[in-house]
Amino acid sequence: MRIAFISDTHFGFGRGTEREQDCWETVEEAVRRIHEMECDLIVHAGDMFDIKLPRPEDWSRALQLFSKLKIPFVAIHGNHERRGRGLTNPVDGLSKSGIFDYVNASHKIYTIGDERVAVHGIGWVPEAYARDVLAQWNPKPVEGAFNVLVLHQSIAPFIYNPIDPPSLKLEDMPSGFDMYVDGHIHEHQTTSAHGKPFMIVGSTVTTQVNKAEAANEKSFVVVDVEDGQTKIRKVPLNSARRVFYTEIAIDNHRPAEIKKLVESYLDDVLNKHFDKKPLIRIRIVGRLPQGQSFSDTGLNELKDAYTGRCLLSIGSKLSEDTFEHGALQEVREQRLSVDELGFRLLREFLAQQKSKFRFEDIFEHLVDGDAEGALVAMLSEKAAEHGPAGVPI
């Protein structure tokens, strides 16, 4: 039995830019090669789409792509697709076409020849509650089948988002499964949980240009299963855009010297041939001479000078940078979804107010557009904190 895993395809990413075809071209290649490798099943570990309300053009293209599949396909939703209570997320919605299966706190059994595989899956939930939600679901392996558990979460020590740390650890995985699979984190990695393979699939497209993305090529994964044993193969995607990241250290360098260092690095990278313009991220780290600022280096002008050869971004981490600038840059680089950022900000605000409100309940009402429900929840909780005479209990 041969199972293909893909994740974090982010359909719709890069709309209106030179990168808008990247997400499609890599998955089209993956689907073609999955068929060539004669896989029996495809599992998608979340973030099929880049936003929770995809454009009709992206919805239609995904429908056309997956309608060509000749083998079963099952998927979960990710953080970019999660919607509020009672609303249909795009993965669930697209699955209603019948071209693939959607699982969420449920499982689906597939018969392949004389073998059975049970895919147990649960979509993304806010990180602070992932451990409790998984424990409450409490999935159990199906007897006589190869059981795969699929999630889309940050899991320690693989921390995708240090701003909102994970509640899940490897030891929190329910025991008894033959394989554990996680999406969300964009770099492919493997380890073990309860003595069984634990795999982070990795993304098929670059959405953030950073050191980790530059060090890990885009790919999908093929797993061969024989007599309960697994062989994991990472399959690089040739159509993926190349990524380069470097940090250039300075110590009171003059602006002209800094510009020369950057140009030297760029010319060295671009001395090679690329089918697509590579993504290049350069970060200037250190201290500028007194009285000088980043704008004095003229580095922003290089973006125009090299626009025909690469997709260039240049940033800095200089000693003069303020805390606020650094915090905003960190949030930007983490590329939080609106839900993730909203959960974090609301939780921090209520903590500062020393409130006993269950912020997740309030947030769910707000996400659903139910402002009245949020107000009722807050007033009910407030009333519970006081006795009949308004005295705190």
- In the chain, the N- to C-terminal Cα span, in Å, equals 61
Cis amide prior to 157 (ω within 30 degrees): yes
Sheet holding 311-318, edge to edge: 243-251, 279-287, 311-318
User: Burial of 64 by CB count in 10 Å (0-12 exposed, 13-18 middle, 19+ buried)?
Assistant: exposed
Per-residue pLDDT of the chain (393 residues; tens, 9 = 90+): 999 999 999 999 999 999 999 999 999 999 999 999 999 999 999 999 999 999 999 999 999 999 999 999 999 999 999 998 889 999 999 999 999 999 999 999 999 999 999 999 999 999 989 999 999 999 999 999 999 999 999 998 887 566 667 889 999 999 999 999 999 999 999 999 999 999 999 999 999 999 999 999 999 999 999 988 999 999 999 999 999 999 999 998 888 899 999 999 999 999 999 999 999 999 999 988 888 888 888 888 888 899 999 999 998 887 654 444 444 555 555 555 656 666 666 666 666 666 555 555 555 545 444 555 555 555 555 544 444 433 333
Compute the distance between CA of residue 19 and CA of residue 213 in angstroms, rounded to an integer: 15
Compute the distance between CA of residue 208 and CA of residue 213 in angstroms, rounded to an integer: 7
371-384 vs 359-367: helix crossing angle, rounded to 10: 160
Residues 2-37 as b or e (16 or more Cβ within 10 Å = b): bbbbbbbbbbbbbeeeebeebbbbbbbbbbebbeee
Secondary structure of 273-315 as H, E, C letters: CCCCCCEEEEEEEEECCCCCCHHHHCCHHHHHHCCCCCEEEEE
E strand map for 208-278: 219-226, 229-236, 243-251
pTM listed for this prediction: 0.80
Map out the domains of the chain as residue ranges. 2-236, 243-321
Tell me the pairing of strands 189-193 and 179-182: unpaired
Give me the CATH code for the 2-236 domain, please: 3.60.21.10
